[in-house]
Structure 1
């Protein structure tokens, strides 16, 4: 009898995380009167981006957070977008800021991401947060982990417990997923290889992986025969392909799912695996940002009281 991989249910894990976040939001509100607020910026009218921003707002409300969305026309200037980010940076009631990507081609994405206050950068894309991620210290104040890699690590921890000593292969080297997940796997004491669609001998490299994370954005790139028996597969790919029934399209991952589940010990489906974790982790980062800003305020207040006490 052929073994079949356990399906890693990202929807269920995300629901659990949202319940935990809701408890944290209520505690912060009761103890400080502060309600975490997420501000999303959408430039243009891409339907998929608009749906994604709306979902973020709905899920924020569901855990007791406040949210607001700011929509700019596709022809809005970079100066207009930067001015909006400045206003949100200065707004003490806003704890998390995200700019929905992609941006129109006339806007410099790097300049926009650098403009967000690192303490409010809940996507974790600011160079300061990228540097903190590479610092190998979970205790660094203000450390914000990009949402999708955070979700991947939660799923892996649930499935495997300790990752120490395992061979991990990451297929994909983007700043959004590939590179940060490689950093996190390295910090979990894995032996990490980073590959991409141009890697020579990719099947042989994949076959060495106890943990395979694919974020290449290439539909069905990874064949099941490449998978090491018993490996855990995290498929981050979200690729739209023509429907096999001749009408419309459907979403598939980077991994040939039916083939891979006959060899892997556990695998995420697409959709329903990593995707639901991304928004839940965005909310987790917003709560962390609100707690971090509150802690900074308390520290400043304590320092001020200490100074005044010298004259009492």
Structure 2
């Protein structure tokens, strides 16, 4: 057994040292991935694909830890806004360098249907970030009762316009529109939201690198890395299985070699499962769903949920404020680190969108 474990250790060590070389022929976007990683700290996914070699170490038993909860907040606040601002600033520098070097800038086209307050806020934040970085931005807006063909025609115009390198359809769409059909119209090379089946498929498969990683999951992992949170070997639980966040973030955490469980609406004992998590990600949009007794003492909590609550004195425009899936007051007394709402994952989503758009333009122009 000792000899077998020694061989396995040697194999894993060799793979880690040589995996970038081995993956060169398999990656879809070598230029842009390397370029992206000059700004972000997240490594290429193929560099994380260690061989699936099991050892006996996982059977070692350790007694459960104990933790006396006090009344004071103990969690470190993960400041997503500050980190996002740093990334957006770096994107701006690269956009200016691109313009000076080759006379081109990245372009982002956004399609917005309806007047949901949260969607309007998100789009407004994206416009502001594009203006700050020098990324070309165009918004096509439709009323709630628009026809599906109108939205598809707008996508096709962005698809064929060479000055736009990224296209985003702001979700959710009104129920009368076929979301799958509309997203399927996006040109793969411009799918900066990362929702194309090809991108999702490559995210799920070892040895593959998607052209784009969905923005919110990408932002979650970047927050963990920049906060010095170890992902490899940790137990992660994702609450929610949407195509936008829950599914891709669970896949991405697996690619980073975490052991991942997904809690959904049919899970019989969600609080028991979440209490096992070293890393807990909640993305269902149900206010205060996750209470303090759902959280393992010392866990890292990423709250992706955003829920507008009527509040005439709220800090957000329109007389409402945002709260998350996690009951912050309780969770902050149990977790070691936690993201606030707002100011946590949300700003990172915008920053990752700009990174993906820059990455797309860099790929098109072979700009390094």
Q: TM-score, normalised by structure 2?
A: 0.75
1:28–1:34 contact (8 Å) kept in structure 2? yes
Question: Which residue matches 1:96?
Answer: 166
Q: Does 1:60 align with 2:145?
A: no
Note closer, same or farther for the CA distance 1:150–1:205 as it changes in structure 2 (3 Å cut): same
- Which secondary structure does the structure 1 equivalent of 2:344 belong to? coil
Q: Deviations over 1:216-249 (max 9, x none)?
A: 2111111112211111000111112355999x65
> Structure 1 segments of 4 or more deviating over 3 A?
45-48, 241-246
Counterpart position of 2:227: 159
Matched with 1:279 is 350
- Structure-1-length-normalised TM-score: 0.88
Match of 1:75 in 2: 145
Q: 2:277 is matched with which residue?
A: 209
Deviates more, 1:179-188 or 1:158-167: 158-167
Pairwise CA distance, 1:75: 3.0
- Cα distance in 2 for partners of 1:214, 1:227 equals 11
Q: 1:236 aligns with which of 300, 304, 308?
A: 304
After superposition, give the CA deviation of every residue in 1:20-75 in whole Å (9 maximum; x if it has no partner).
11122122222322100111111233343233223211210101111111122333
Confirm whether residue 5 of structure 1 aligns to residue 5 of structure 2.
no
Which of 217, 222, 239 is the aligned partner of 1:171? 239
- Structure 1: how far apart are the matches of 2:291 and 2:73? 17
Match in the other structure for 1:227: 295
> Aligned equivalents of 1:31 and 1:217: distance in 2?
43
Unaligned segments of structure 1, at least 5 residues? 299-312
Measured in 1, the distance between the counterparts of 2:310 and 2:120 equals: 23
Verify the 8 A CA contact 2:278 2:300 in the aligned structure 1.
yes
Equivalences for 1:11-160 in 2 at 5 Å? 11-137=81-207, 140=209, 143-160=211-228
Distance in 2, matches of 1:81 and 1:245, equals: 36
Shift of 1:163: 1.1
> d(CA) in 1 for partners of 2:158 and 2:110?
10
Q: CA deviation at 1:160?
A: 3.0
Confirm whether residue 255 of structure 1 aligns to residue 326 of structure 2: yes
Equivalent pair of 1:39/1:67 in contact (CA under 8 Å)? yes
Which whole-Å CA distance do the structure 2 matches of 1:127 and 1:18 have between them? Answer: 27
Residues paired across the two proteins, number = 293
Distance in 1 between residues matched to 2:333 and 2:174, nearest whole Å: 42
Indicate conservation of the 8 Å contact 1:147/1:282, yes or no. Answer: yes
1:294 aligns with 2:365: yes
Q: Distance in 2 between matches of 1:51 and 1:262?
A: 30
The offset of 1:118, in angstroms, is 1.1
Separation of aligned partners in 1, 2:181 and 2:218 = 24
Distance 1:201 1:278, change over 3 A: same
Partner of 1:199: 267
Equivalent position SS for 1:18: helix
CA distance in structure 2 between the aligned counterparts of 1:245 and 1:63, rounded to whole angstroms:
32
SS at the partner of 1:193?
A: strand
Give the secondary-structure state (helix, strand or coil) at the position aligned to 1:233: strand
- Aligned residue for 2:267, secondary structure, equals coil
RMSD over aligned CA atoms reads: 2.1
- 8 A contact 2:118–2:308 mirrored in 1: no
Structure 2 residue 340 is matched with structure 1 residue 269: yes
CA distance in 2, matches of 1:61, 1:251: 25
Change in Cα spacing, 1:232 to 1:47, as seen in structure 2 (3 Å) is closer
Deviations 1:163-198 (A, max 9, x none): 110000001100000000001100111000000233
